[in-house]
Structure 1
Amino acid sequence: MSKELLMKVLNHEDTNGQLPWIPFAGVHAGKLKGYTGKEILTDSAKLIECLREVYRLYQPDGMPIVFDLQIEAEILGCELLWADYNPPSVVSHLFDKEKGIPCKCKFPTAESGRIPIVLEAMRVMKEEVGDQTALYGLICGPLTLASHLRGSEFFKDVNKNPDYVVQLTSFCAEYAQKMADLYIEAGMDVIAVVDPLVSQISPKSFSKLLHEPFKAVFDYIRMKGVKSSFFVCGNASYQIKVMCETYPDSMAVDENVDMVAAKVITDQYNIALSGNIPLTTTMLFGTQQDNMKGVLDLIDSIDNKKNLIISPGCDMPYDVPPENTVACAMAVHRPDEVRSMIANYSSSGFDDIEITIPDYASRDKVYIELFTLDPEQCAACTYMVKSVTDIYDEIKDMADYVVYKYFIKEDIARTAKMGLKNLPTMCIDGESVYISIIPDSDELITEVTKRYNKKHDK
Structure 2
Amino acid sequence: MKYIINKDQMTPKERMQAFGQGKEIDRIPCSPFLGESVAQTFGHTIYDYNHSVDVLVDVAVKSFETFRPDSIGFGPGLQGIPEAMGSGVVFTENNTPYISKPAISDYSEIGKLKPVDVYKDGRIHYFLEALKITNDKLSNEVGVGTSVGGPFTLASFLRGTDKFLRDLTKNKEMAHELLEISTQSVLNYIDAACDIGLSPGLAEPNASCTMISSKNFEEFAKPYLKRCMDRIVERTGGGSTLHICGKTKKIWGHMVDIGISNLSLDNVDDIGELKEAYGDKVCLIGNVDPVETVMRGSIEDIYTKAKECIIKGHDSEKGFILSTGCDIPIGTDPQKIIALMDAARIFGSNKININEL
Q: Report the TM range for the smaller structure's normalisation.
A: 0.7 to 0.9
- What is residue 36 of structure 1 aligned with on the other side? 45
Q: CA separation in 1, counterparts of 2:279 and 2:148?
A: 25
How far, CA to CA, are the matches of 2:314 and 2:71 in structure 1? 23
Matches within 5 A, 1:407-422: none
Shift of 1:17: 8.1
CA distance in 2, matches of 1:103, 1:166: 16
Runs of 4+ in structure 1 displaced over 6 angstroms?
Answer: none
The answer to which of 94-103 and 296-305 deviates more is 94-103
Q: Return the alpha-carbon distance in structure 1 between the equivalents of residues 21 and 283 of structure 2.
A: 7
Q: Greater RCO between the two (CA within 8 Å, min separation 6)? A: 2
Q: 1:302 deviation in Å? A: 2.9
- Answering whether residue 281 of structure 2 is matched by residue 293 of structure 1, we say no
TM superposition score normalised by structure 1: 0.69
Per-residue CA shift, 1:158-216, capped at 9, x if unaligned? 1122222222212211211100111122232x311111011121111111233221111
Which has the larger displacement, 28-37 or 317-326?
A: 28-37
* Alpha carbons of structure 1 residues 286 and 298: separation in structure 2 relative to 1, 3 Å: same
Distance 2:99 2:113 in 1: 21
Classify 1:267/1:99 alpha carbon distance in 2 versus 1 (closer, same or farther; 3 Å): farther
Verify the 8 A CA contact 2:222 2:258 in the aligned structure 1: yes
The 3 A distance-change label for structure 1 pair 210 and 8 is farther
1:217 aligns with 2:228: yes
Q: In 2, distance between residues paired with 1:241 and 1:294?
A: 26
SS state of the match for residue 90, structure 1?
Answer: strand
Distance 1:266 1:78, change over 3 A: same
Partner of 1:22: 31
Give the alignment's Cα RMSD to 1 decimal: 2.4
- Aligned positions of 1:59-458 closer than 5 A: 59-66=68-75, 68-98=77-107, 100-101=109-110, 105-151=114-160, 152-188=162-198, 190-199=199-208, 200-225=211-236, 227-268=239-280, 270-302=281-313, 304-306=315-317, 307-335=319-347
Task: Give the residue type in structure 2 aligned to 1:126.
Answer: N
TM-score (norm 2): 0.87
Corresponding residue of 1:6: 16
Distance 2:108 2:346 in 1: 53
For 2:122 and 2:46, the matched residues in 1 are separated by: 17
Residues 156 and 86 of structure 1, relative CA distance in 2, 3 Å threshold: same
8 Å Cα contact 2:153/2:206 also seen in 1: yes
Q: Which amino acid counterpart does residue 321 of structure 2 have in structure 1?
A: I
Work out whether residues 74 and 80 of structure 1, in 8 Å CA contact, stay in contact via their aligned partners in 2: yes
Question: 1:180 is aligned with what amino acid?
Answer: I
d(CA) in 1 for partners of 2:226, 2:205 = 17
* Corresponding position of 1:365: none
1:208-243 alpha-carbon deviations (Å, 9 max, x no partner): 233221111000000001641111101112121111
Shift of 1:102: 5.3
- Contact 1:65–1:121 (CA under 8 A) maintained in structure 2: no
Alignment-mate amino acid for residue 249 of structure 1: S
Given residue 247 of structure 1, which amino acid in structure 2 is its aligned partner?
A: G
Partner of 1:410: none
Structure of higher CA gyration radius: 1
Structure 1, unpaired ranges of 5+:
341-458
Gapped regions of structure 2 (runs ≥ 5): 1-10, 353-357
Q: Is the 8 A contact 2:89 2:99 kept in 1?
A: yes
Contact 1:29–1:51 (CA under 8 A) maintained in structure 2: no
